[in-house]
Each structure stands twice: as C-alpha cells, then as structure tokens.
Structure 1
Amino acid sequence: MTTGTSYTVVSNDGTCSSAASASFVNAVQLSTPVAPILSVVNATICSGERAIFQINGAANNIVTYSINGGSDQTVTLSAAGVATVEVVSSMVLVSIELLNISNGNCSLAISDVASVTVQPCSIPKGISPNGDNLNDELDLSFYNIEKLDIFNRYGTKVYSKSNYENEWRGQSDNGNELPDGTYYYVIDFTDLETKTGWIYINREHK
C-alpha cells in the first residue's frame, strides 16, 4: 500500500462478490528525528574572536539550542544537514547546549554540550633586545604556535620559525641584527585562529 492513498475493498469468495465495499486511508507513518552531532571548530579562541560550533544531522531539521544557559534559539540545518552557530563573547568559557531537534512532524529532546575557551591573547607591541634581560625577546611560550613569520615594511619575510616559543630577538633568518623599526608578524596557532599585527624593535638603552 502507498502511504496516504484511499483504497476500496470488495469481498470475493471466488464464485461471487459482495455488493458492499469499504474505503480507508492508510495512515502516514511518522519517524522520530535522529540526534545531531555537535562539534567545535577551535577549542580555544582569543577574546573578541568568534566561537564557531558546527551541527551535523538530517537535512532541514530544526535544532533548538541555548548559549551559556540563555534563552532558547533555533537553527535550521541545510540541505546537506549542516549548520553553524557563531558567538562572540568576552566570557572565559562559551558553551552551547542542544535541547531539541524536530523534523517537522516529530521532535526529540536532547542534551548535548560543547564549550570553547576564550583567552586574552595579548601579543607584545615591541621588544628591546639590548642585553638588559628586559623584554629582549618576543616571548610567546605560553601559546601553542605552529609557525611565526616576521616581515619588514616592504613585505619581505625576514624571519620564520616553526614551533616558535621565544627565539626571536630582532634577528633575521641568517642571524644578523635587523634595523630598529616596525615589523609585521603572522602567527599560526595550533589551537587558535591565525593572528596578524605589528611589533617594534627598539634597542636603545634608557
């Protein structure tokens, strides 16, 4: 039988048939939605950056969620069954909880939580590598850095270091001292978004 179709039933014993008939509609069978999969793009971000949560499930399902225990919100999964929720927060921890999923006919109560840690991520604006042991190097040892690149004002790369911690003291890749002035960095983290900015070298003793 085809769901949602009307049928007429006639009784027949092989020799004669009943004049009476009946019709009925086959009931639509409803399915319970499947709980979606929740994940985070980056488990740690810098303050002011976006915490990005990804939800994977069935196409066009509607998911109800809350951020940090706030009011309920909804997002509709795409035709590919994917949705992202982006949050900018200065809180130390950003959490999302999935509460319910609906396929338009049935709904399912769920409880799935994911969190993102927010760090200050302050990068020094200058170094003074003059041998006084005060701010002599760019110390980023408290981060997990995949690679650091330093460029001069003309856009030429002058220094590069993978798995960087605190090795740059204003020198070029060949070990020569770079002139005092403004330089630009690109920092690729293992657990944060790539960060760019400027830093000043000043070797003058005060």
Structure 2
Amino acid sequence: MNERFYIQGIECYPDNTVQIYNRWGVLVFERDHYNNTDVAFRGISEGRVTIKESNGLPEGTYYYIIKYKDHQSNPHQEAGYLYLTK
C-alpha cells in the first residue's frame, strides 16, 4: 500500500510544482520542489478544505497537475487522476 503519491522520475526535475484538486476543483495540495520523500502528498489536505488534518482527505478520485522545467528550462506539464483509498 502506498502512503504517498509517488511520481516516478520527479527527482530529475527539482524545479517542479505539484497541485492536487478534489472532484469539485478545490485545490487540496500544492507544493514546489516535490521529491517523493519529505515533500510529498500523503492524503492530507493542505488547502482550503473543512476537514481536520488528522482525519485526512476522504476516499475518492483526485486530479493532479505536475508542472516542471527540463534541464534547458523548457516548461512541461503532466496531468491525470489518482484514487485515494484508506
């Protein structure tokens, strides 16, 4: 079982931003310099949500956007869905 949202290869692109939205389009997580270890999404809201942090986010589908720059500073963007389970 994953305890965090693991993004393969993200460590190769330290100039990045990860955003995660709930099904209503509310931003629940946003971090620069995501790295899968100390800067990672663990199912806890860090955005504008009325849920206690200790309870975590509810199960469901979330939308993510990953923005990063390559080694020539060209911007890229990837997006998709993740399903959060408890």
Give the TM-score normalised by structure 2.
0.71
1:195 lines up with 2:74 in the alignment: no
One-letter amino acid of the structure 1 residue matched with residue 6 of structure 2: D
- 2:42 equivalent to 1:169: yes
For residues 8 and 69 of structure 2, the distance between their equivalents in structure 1, rounded to whole angstroms, comes to: 13
Task: Give the total of aligned pairs.
Answer: 70
In the alignment, which residue of structure 2 is the partner of 1:181?
A: 60
Match of 1:15 in 2: none
TM-score under structure 1 length normalisation: 0.32
RMSD: 1.9
Tell me which residue corresponds to 1:113. Answer: none
* 1:141 shift after superposition: 5.9
Task: Tell me by how many angstroms 1:149 deviates.
Answer: 0.3
* Structure with the higher fraction of residues in helix conformation: 2
- Where does residue 81 of structure 1 map in the other structure? none
Q: Could you say which structure has the higher strand fraction?
A: 1
Q: Deviations over 1:41-88 (max 9, x none)?
A: xxxxxxxxxxxxxxxxxxxxxxxxxxxxxxxxxxxxxxxxxxxxxxxx
The structure with the largest alpha-carbon Rg is 1
State how far apart, in whole Å, the 1-side matches of 2:58 and 2:33 are.
25
User: Which has the higher relative contact order, 1 or 2, with Cα contacts under 8 A spaced 6 or more apart?
Assistant: 2
CA distance in 2, matches of 1:160, 1:141: 18
Distance 1:139 1:154 in 2: 23
